[in-house]
Chains A and B, each alone.
Chain A
Amino acid sequence: MSNLQQPANLLRGIPLQVRKLKKTFGSREVLKDIDLHIPAGQFVAVVGRSGCGKSTLLRLLAGLDQPSSGQLLAGNGSLSDAREDTRLMFQEARLLPWKKIIDNVGLGLSGDWRGKALEALEAVGLAERANEWPAALSGGQKQRVALARALIHQPRLLLLDEPLGALDALTRIEMQQLIENLWKKHGFTVLLVTHDVSEAVAIADRVLLIEEGRIGLDLQVDLARPRARGSYRLAALETEVLNRVLSLPGNPPDPEPTSPLPTQLRWAN
């Protein structure tokens, strides 16, 4: 662990500044005027109904899509200059099936990275599976490999796009604790997109609710860690967020906007 641990103090998270961010797909405005400041090292959870634009926000931050207008800043510079310090974990693990697990972790690295990759795998508890194929892993283990793959780059901003959405309840809690511990150790800034409000309040410093392309609620979670799951205060916070989510009419005029995936276009005609 020495390599991963050593620069932890040097490695501060990226302070994130989002100014007047807009994103439109065709005529549909997905994000309208998002203004946001996230201090370095904060753990932020982003929640919202499906299709509210939370994943779009993450993809913009990751540089996978370009904003229609507005600015994304990392500290004083542009976020696109900090691309190397930004890592995204997807909803699916997206491991390359033709690479051994350790080679998946070292993807995109050059030089002698094997030792570091083993350390990263050790940090997620999968060092002994390093030389197996991804097909031999369970869903939760695959996500842990994906986490190791993100961590080996020593990111200063970690973007998590519902990475736990497909996992069973127990594995989820395990993964949440793993992510929380690694975050505490390395001090990176985290943006976690999730549809699970209880997960958001249990793990994050701050919960953002996005509704209809705007930030509808910005809630600080000032609870000491480690947090006791199922505690009254967590439940109260969860209720507060949920009430807000459910207070808006369930059927907006634009019903369930879906992203224009190629497969859907094919079936649409």
Chain B
Amino acid sequence: MSVERITHRLAPWLLPVLLLAIWQLAVSAGWLSTRILPAPSAVIEAGVTLVRSGEIWTHLAISGWRAGIGFAIGGGIGLALGFITGLSKWGERLLDSSVQMIRNVPHLALIPLVILWFGIDETAKIFLVALGTLFPIYLNTYHGIRNIDPALVEMSRSYGLSGFGLFRHVILPGAMPSILVGVRFALGFMWLTLIVAETISASSGIGYLAMNAREFLQTDVVVLAIVLYAVLGKLADLAARGLERVCLRWHPAYQAAKGGAQ
């Protein structure tokens, strides 16, 4: 039984480990030039060196900071705009079509303009991340509020809820599943935007690490940077899932089997 369980646990890792082994073998045997792809062991070595020198932490910190600030600004604005358009007819009339028009501009296409506006320092990157995260959160907040069952709102009003009480007890929790979908989309856009922004112009951060390494043909560091981005993306996704598990405990889809219908 327990052996079977361990096999079940390990089975999904079998293919990745096999691929890594083949990759390692291919490089060691000289079938694959290290200029194209370094051996996995070389990537790990590069990682260890960077950790030892402490360099990796400064880059991680600065990238994380850019991502976090940009996400907070963009997400905050998106949430606020979503609330305004979702809650008020006039807000919707005034704002929604404008926001939808801007949304259709690919934000990465603005990079030349953003560089002209803000130069190549932090502001430009944070601006781009904020722009990238704003729209998914806006759209899903708006959509979430619009899709709240009007019967529940009517019931709550007849039980004396109005204004902020109605918002806190009915509208916000009702829109929460949709808002959290927006958050997960936004987190994806956050890293994507940051990668592009840091690759184009930066003097620190993971993107800088990769571009700098490219100039010196250090493919191991380039691959390491890619792996770091992947890990950060995964961590952000885990955080979003955790948030969903906490905020949507009531949702049948998130209930543990024992807590469900009996």
Contacts and interface: CB of A to CB of B under 8 A. Distances in A.
B255 A135 contact: yes
Contacts, number: 59
A90 B261 CA distance: 23
Nearest to A110: B165
A107 B151 contact: no
A97 B252 CA distance: 9
A136 B160 contact: no
Size category of the A interface is 20 to 34
Contacts of B261: 135-136
Interface in A43-83: 62-64
Contact of B159 (A100, A108, A136): A108
B160 A98 contact: no
| Contact residues of A: prevailing secondary structure | loop
A94 B151 CA distance: 7
Range for the number of chain B residues in contact with chain A: 20 to 34
Contacts of B18: none
B91 to A, nearest CB: 20
Contact of B160 (A84, A96, A133, A135): A84
B158 A63 contact: yes
Contacts of B158: 62-64, 87-88
A108 B153 CA distance: 12
A149 interface: yes
A145 B170 CA distance: 18
B250 A108 contact: no
Given A63-B158, A96-B152, A107 B250 contact: no
Nearest to A103: B169
Interface string B225-260: 000000000000000000000000111100100011
A62 B154 CA distance: 11
A149 B255 CA distance: 24
A261 B165 CA distance: 27
Given A87-B159, A98-B174, A133-B259, 5 more contacts: A90-B155, A96-B174, A107-B169, A133-B250, A136-B261
10 contacts: A64-B154, A64-B158, A94-B151, A96-B152, A98-B174, A99-B173, A107-B156, A133-B255, A133-B259, A149-B159
